[in-house]
Chain A
Amino acid sequence: MKKIILSFIAALGLVAGAAHAAGGATIAWDKAPNKTNDLPALQNGAKLFVNYCLGCHSAAFMRYNRLQDIGLTEQQIKDNLLLTTDKIGDTMKATIDPKQAKEWFGANPPDLTVIARSRAGAGGSGADYLYTFLRSFYRDDAKATGWNNVLFPNVGMPHALWELQGERRATFDETTHAFKGYEQITPGKMSAQEYDAAIADLVGYLQWMGEPAQNTRVRIGIWVLAFLFVTTFLAWRLNAAFWKDVK
């Protein structure tokens, strides 16, 4: 009997190993710093999002006035983040015409409202994926956009933040084609550390936008659990009081 169980466990291990090998991961995902409780970082992320992402990507389920949850006032949102034609209660729409986008990039840029939730997987959280993806672009003249990505080879998206990061080249092992590292070609407006911090803020914002209620949820959850622990104690004593005479 033990043998049967053991061979089952062994088989299971084999299956898990095979599944892992078949994944064909390009590079491991970096761990994104958790910024969902850091209001200045989220505000900076929102600014980056509106300036660099919203041109092509929409966030069609996210209303501008929800940004009040990350500490911005209605006036600040109107002055800094809103296009003149939009109203504060509107959702975040891309400025690009979807038809044109399809022509330029070969596909419609995906909506980003819940992108951080959809990209989670075996490699880590959705935030980890985005944090790695946005830091993995390199120059590739073979591509129509002039850009390629180590995490997502042949991606349709060009490097929208290249001004900040500067241009980089990627080096690959000649025989195994495994990724080896980057070489900076031209400097960006930011140092490598500053760029990573900016991406962390942007990804933090994307993560927050995926579920704006997430911090409220955790805060309330603690009280709900505290209440339930007290109730459970009372229920336990109530039960004991009724059953103490049952022989």
Chain B
Amino acid sequence: MAEFKEISPNASAGAKLTNWFENRFPTMFDAYRVHMSEYYAPKNFNFWYIFGSLALLVLVIQIVTGIFLVMHYKPDAAKAFESVEYIMRDVPWGWLIRYMHSTGASAFFIVVYLHMFRGLLYGSYRKPRELVWIFGCAIFLALMGEAFMGYLLPWGQMSYWGAQVIVNLFSAIPFIGPDLALLIRGDYVVSDATLNRFFSFHVIAVPLVLLGLVVAHLLALHDVGSNNPDGIEIKKGPKGNRWSATAPADGIPFHPYYSVHDIFGVCVFLIVFTAVIFFAPEAGGYFLEYNNFIPADPLVTPAHIAPVWYFTPFYSMLRAITTEMVYVLVACVVLGAAFGVFKAKLPGVFKGLIAVAAAVTVALMLAIDAKFWGVVVMGGAVIILFFLPWLDCSPARSIRYRPTWHKYVYAVFVVNFVILAYLGVQPPSPVGERVSQLGTLIYFGFFLLMPWWSAKGEPKPVPDRVTYQAH
């Protein structure tokens, strides 16, 4: 326990009050210092570094608006759609709260995708920040679950049939699939039981997990310190700055320097965010789908069921896995195994293991329905992100000092991701199927071949200190 500090009776009332709290709750003061006023972040952060704060802001918006929505929403298949319209019409300012929440869902994914891309650009997941990245990927996964279950709640046609399609995917898992799908739905079709459990998960279970993960993400980050656009470790550089003799010379206190940065960023973000809320809350049918203004009808299947835009890259990869595509994947596994056995410098035991594992995988791939492998690919597309810290073998962390052609590889990855997203919104078509199959191979190729391509090329000289121009 910290030592009890007496204060002079002549001190000001404010100082006395601070002293009173400091003696009784020193942790709060330590936390402020560790995470705000004495957290030294690199001073060369750029535009890309705003999205973490923005994600936190959107999380708060979602929680607060969510609390007010739950006051009026009825998680009951007979009343859910009606209660949303009640919020939109009869609850004072209900329309604003609801639009904030629906726009917030899309905004969350926009800022999180940009935040993740920042990590990719500057190698923010590299040693010693692997856990920061893994917590972040877990947040992304939890966010997907949160969004998926929240989308059922308005109980429109897209809510209903989207949930129906996705939950049915689980039934493709061999042996346990049908029972698992039944457990998720609580019924043989998506119904009132499903709505109730999704509501419970959406408002309690997943938000708790999300909050815990966000705390872990931030604590882990503040333990190892932030990366920066140059991808160099400021802790390894010279010590001593204006605020502290022991802090890194290129560090700057988070508060007030980055808090004023973030206030500015938040204002710019809010301009865009409120412009959507007040002038285009449907965002052309992407944030609020038109079909979802029709109440859920278990007897009428819509002609075209598409998930909300933020899931569509993954949905495209799911749809890409046809029976034909499984043969392509089998060929990939065989090629990979052949490379491991004939080319890699490994002990014979490992080579044997690789051959056996590949043979078993191929046998399973041919034995089980393609639909299941679609689910595996869709899940794998998210899970593979967790392994990024070990897949990236580039000598330089930041894209700034990697070979120029690495930028083109990243560009192809981004364009490919956008194309997959676009195709996921479209109804299935023969050309779209081929393009999304190619896109799936590019997506996985980017990650699985990363240990090879990221180590190639001549990195540019990395400076000793961060590059910073005074404002």
Contacts and interface: CB of A to CB of B under 8 A. Distances in A.
Nearest to A237: B264
B252 A221 contact: no
A118 B271 contact: no
Contacts of B415: 5, 8
Nearest to B276: A221
B197 interface: no
A239 B264 contact: yes
A188 interface: no
Interface in A199-225: 210-213, 217-218, 220-222, 224-225
B263 A118 contact: no
Interface in B78-105: 82, 85-86, 88-90, 95-96, 99
Contacts, number: 132
Contacts of B293: 114-115, 117-118, 210
B257 to A, nearest CB: 6
Contacts of B166: none
B66 to A, nearest CB: 20
A67 to B, nearest CB: 12
A contacts with B: majority SS: helix
A15 B412 contact: no
Nearest to B252: A246
Of the candidates B99, B266, B290, the one having the most CB atoms from chain A within 10 angstroms of its own CB is B290
Contacts of B470: 244, 246-247
A120 B290 contact: yes
Interface stretch (A57-65, A97-105, A169-177, A189-197): A57-65
A66 B266 CA distance: 36
Interface string B248-286: 000010001100110110111011001101110110010
B280 to A, nearest CB: 10
Given A12-B419, A22-B427, A246-B470, A224 B278 contact: yes
A24 to B, nearest CB: 10
A70 B425 CA distance: 37
A235 B408 CA distance: 36
B290 A238 contact: no
Contact of B271 (A22, A117, A220, A232): A232
Contacts of B261: 239, 243
Given A19-B426, A221-B275, A14 B431 contact: yes
Nearest to A221: B278
A74 to B, nearest CB: 17
A218 B279 contact: yes
A212 B471 contact: no
B85 A114 contact: yes
Contacts of B256: 242
B389 interface: no
Contacts of A66: 89
Interface in B313-340: none
Nearest to A118: B293
A1 interface: yes
Contacts of A228: 267, 270-271, 274
Given A1-B412, A15-B432, A232-B268, A117 B277 contact: no
Contacts of A242: 256-257, 260
Interface string B352-364: 0000000000000
Interface string A91-123: 000000000000000000011011101111100
B264 A232 contact: yes
B274 A225 contact: yes
Given A61-B89, A217-B278, A232-B267, A15 B471 contact: no
Interface residues of B, number: 53
B264 A238 contact: yes
Nearest to B256: A242
A119 B282 CA distance: 13
B432 A224 contact: no
A113 B278 CA distance: 21
A111 B293 CA distance: 11
B429 interface: yes
Contacts of A229: 271
A14 B423 CA distance: 12
Interface in A1-48: 1, 4-5, 8, 11-12, 14-16, 18-19, 22
B257 A217 contact: no
B427 A19 contact: yes
A114 B43 CA distance: 51
B113 interface: no
A235 B260 contact: yes
A15 B85 contact: no
Contacts of A114: 85, 293
A240 interface: yes
Contacts of A225: 271, 274-275, 278
Interface in B392-438: 408, 411-412, 415-416, 419, 422-423, 426-427, 429-432, 435
Contacts of B471: 240, 243-244, 246
B429 A238 contact: no
B267 A211 contact: no
A218 B278 contact: yes
Nearest to A213: B95
A113 to B, nearest CB: 7
B291 interface: yes
A238 B263 contact: yes
A238 to B, nearest CB: 5
A12 B435 contact: yes
B89 A235 contact: no
A11 B433 CA distance: 11
Contacts of A119: 290
A243 B431 contact: no
A166 interface: no
Contacts of A238: 260, 263-264
Contacts of B277: 221
9 contacts: A5-B411, A8-B419, A118-B291, A217-B278, A225-B274, A231-B267, A243-B257, A246-B43, A246-B470
Given A232-B267, A243-B471, 18 more contacts: A5-B411, A5-B412, A12-B435, A14-B431, A18-B429, A18-B430, A19-B427, A117-B282, A121-B290, A211-B95, A213-B88, A213-B95, A221-B278, A232-B268, A232-B271, A235-B264, A246-B257, A246-B471
Closest 4 CB pairs of A and B: A221-B278, A118-B293, A61-B85, A232-B267
